[in-house]
Amino acid sequence: MAKEQGSRLIANNKKAYYDYFILDTYEAGIELAGTEVKSLRLGHCSIKESFIGIDNEQIYIYHMNISPYEKGNIFNKDPLRTRRLLLHKSEIHKLMGQVKETGYTIVPLKVYWKGSLVKMEIGLARGKKLYDKRQEIAKKDQKREAEKEFKIRNLR
């Protein structure tokens, strides 16, 4: 049986792009139980409140909410349990060095299907200050106004 081509988005963390400057991204696998995978196929996942931590040279995601599978009965796991992320050792050591030395953080960006596997895109990020957020909002407003004026001119 041939694997599915392309990727299908399960969950997206838009707030991460608003709160952080994303400097580098990595693709990580997630260690899941069977009923969690079935629940993800239905799209029951949230990463808005989740965060990533490093412990004993392993990367974990905390508070990632995967709703229990309805037909899972006794095999369902805790929806907010800690899950291990699967990365190469060299990538883990690189992330550990960045987080310790320069004060960066690691944030989950999105969860998606890649073929038959569930992957998570994580980002090395630096927090934005309030004035950075205000500048971003001002740029979006200017862009929206320019598009509105362009549309009005073309209708005449």
Residue 56 to residues 11, 25, 60, 146: CA-CA distances in angstroms?
Answer: 28, 22, 10, 51
**Cα(26)–Cα(119) distance, integer angstroms:** 10
**Cα(121)–Cα(107) distance, integer angstroms:** 9
DSSP per position, 9-40: EEEE-HHHHHHEEEEEEEEEEE---HHHHHHH
Task: Check residue 89 and give its pLDDT.
Answer: 92
Sheet containing 7-12: give its strands across: 7-12, 105-114, 117-127, 20-30, 83-86, 58-62, 51-55
Task: Please say whether the dihedral angle defined by the alpha carbons of residues 35, 123, 100 and 65, taken in this order, is positive or negative.
Answer: negative
**Cα(53)–Cα(64) distance, integer angstroms:** 12
Task: Check residue 1 and give its pLDDT.
Answer: 39
Task: Check residue 145 and give its pLDDT.
Answer: 87
The series of mean pLDDT values per 10 residues for the chain, 156 residues long, is 64 86 90 84 86 90 85 72 90 89 86 89 86 83 86 74
Structural domains in the chain, CATH included, are 7-128 (2.40.280.10)
CB–CB of 105/123 below 8 Å? Answer: no
Task: Check residue 60 and give its pLDDT.
Answer: 93
Task: Check residue 6 and give its pLDDT.
Answer: 61
Task: Check residue 2 and give its pLDDT.
Answer: 45
User: pTM of the entire structure?
Assistant: 0.75
